């Protein structure tokens, strides 16, 4: 399996298919590069080079004891981009991966490495509620995630995709057992400690200054029925911080809309990439 080795010895697994302009996909918690199948196959067929990695502690990458925070995640991506010598790449992040994209582009994206960025159902600016972020989710929500993970990770990783992640808990939803099973499979490949610590990374990291720093075009895509990362305290705030931002809101679509509605998401991604 193709991997790179980071400065602290972690092996980061990645996929690198095709040729052409590079698109780099950053997955959400607690998943892996496999979560981007519907996008990677689409853009591979369109003549792009498609790249996706498993975040440390996730999927096929090393189950490290540390480094499960955004600065290290972004540094790992920087190491991958340098190894592959990526130029003018478009970085596309979903959920936690959107935070990873924001931190990477802001801190490591200079020198022609990055051409554009896309944040899909992404966590920036910051998820947790505070005096500065009164519309955020209470810390007790994330404490509940941690407790459920420790108590019975296998059950928790079934309940999330079977319910709010894909909107399968909504009346009239077309439920896919295969999608639920695939989410569970990806999650259980990773390390419990990494998933536990990543909850803090995606919920408490403040990306405000990252968003203000980014000087390439950024597309924000968000479903207005996102039950995992509510749109009012994420996309609708993030767009105000970007120098070159574009916001697309998808009525009724869930957090996992890249999987449930690729026929909508992929053409919009293509249009932004080609613009």
pLDDT averaged over every residue in the chain: 98
User: Is 3-274 assigned to CATH 3.40.50.280?
Assistant: no
Residue 1 has pLDDT above 90, yes or no: no
Q: What is the pLDDT of residues 96-143, one digit of tens each?
A: 999 999 999 999 999 999 999 999 999 999 999 999 999 999 999 999
Residues, the chain, total? 275
- Of 5, 105, 108, 104, nearest to 64 by C-alpha is 5
DSSP letter string over 107-154? Answer: HH-TTTTEEEEEEES---S--B--SS-TTSB-HHHHHHHHHHHHHHHH
Instruction: Please say whether the beta carbons of 223 and 188 come within 8 A.
Output: no
Q: How far apart are CA 83 and CA 88, in angstroms?
A: 15
18 and 12 Cβ atoms separated by less than 8 Å? no
pLDDT at position 18: 98
Cβ atoms within 10 Å of 169's Cβ, excluding its own: 14
Structure tokens that stand for 123 in this block: 């966590």
What is the predicted pLDDT for the residue at 268?
98
Q: What is the pLDDT of residue 206?
A: 98
How far is Cα 131 from Cα 161, in angstroms, rounded to an integer?
A: 31
Q: Does residue 195 have an active-site annotation?
A: no
Catalytic residue among 27, 53, 195, 255: 255
Cis upstream peptide for 139 (omega within 30°): no
User: What SS3 state is found at 249?
Assistant: strand
Active-site hit among 95, 203, 210, 234: 95
Among candidate residues 274, 226, 220, 223, the one with its CA nearest the CA of residue 244 = 220
> Among this protein's residues, is 226 annotated catalytic?
yes
Is residue 240's pLDDT more than 90? Answer: yes
Q: Exposed, middle or buried by CB within 10 Å (0-12, 13-18, 19+), for 163?
A: middle
Domain positions in the chain: 3-274
Q: Give residue 265's pLDDT.
A: 98
pLDDT at 130: 97
Whether residue 22 has pLDDT greater than 90: yes
pLDDT grade, residue 19 (50/70/90)?
very high
Asked if the model's pLDDT at residue 247 lies above 90, the reply is yes
**What is the rounded average pLDDT of the residues 23-36?**
98
**For 3, phi and psi rounded to 5 degrees?**
-140, 160
pLDDT on residue 272: 98
Q: Mind listing the pLDDT tens digit for each residue in 159-214? A: 999 999 999 999 999 999 999 999 999 999 999 999 999 999 999 999 999 999 99
Catalytic: 94? no
Confidence of residue 36 (pLDDT cuts 50, 70, 90): very high
The alpha carbon of 106 is separated from its chain's Cα centroid by a whole number of angstroms, namely 16
Average pLDDT over residues 228-232: 98
Tens-digit pLDDT profile for residues 59-108: 999 999 999 999 999 999 999 999 999 999 999 999 999 999 999 999 99
Q: Which residues contact 244 (CB under 8 A, 6 or more apart)?
A: 215, 216, 217, 218
């Amino acid at each position: 399996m193709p991997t790179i080795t980071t400065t602290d010895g972690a092996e980061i697994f990645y996929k690198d298919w095709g040729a052409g302009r590079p698109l780099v996909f950053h997955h959400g918690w607690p998943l892996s590069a496999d979560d981007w199948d519907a996008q990677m196959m689409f853009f591979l067929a369109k003549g792009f080079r498609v790249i996706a990695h498993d975040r440390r502690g996730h999927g096929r990458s090393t189950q490290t004891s540390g480094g499960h925070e955004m600065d290290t995640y972004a540094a790992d991506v920087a190491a991958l981009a340098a190894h592959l010598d990526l130029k003018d790449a478009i970085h596309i992040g979903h959920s936690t991966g959107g935070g990873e994209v924001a931190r990477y582009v802001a801190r490591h994206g200079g020198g022609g490495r990055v051409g554009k960025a896309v944040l899909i159902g992404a966590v920036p600016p910051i998820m947790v509620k505070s005096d500065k972020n009164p519309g955020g989710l209470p810390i007790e929500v994330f404490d509940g995630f941690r407790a459920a993970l420790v108590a019975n990770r296998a059950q928790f990783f079934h309940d999330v995709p079977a319910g709010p992640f894909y909107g399968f808990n909504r009346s009239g939803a077309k439920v896919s057992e295969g999608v639920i099973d695939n989410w569970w499979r990806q999650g259980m490949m990773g390390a419990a400690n990494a998933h536990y610590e990543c909850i803090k990374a995606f919920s408490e990291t403040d990306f405000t200054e990252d968003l203000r720093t980014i000087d390439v075009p950024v597309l924000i895509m968000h479903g207005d029925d996102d039950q995992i990362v509510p749109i009012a305290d994420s996309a609708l705030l993030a767009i105000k911080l970007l120098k070159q931002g574009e916001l697309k809101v998808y009525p009724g679509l869930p957090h996992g809309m890249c999987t449930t509605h690729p026929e909508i998401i992929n053409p919009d991604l293509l249009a932004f990439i080609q613009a």
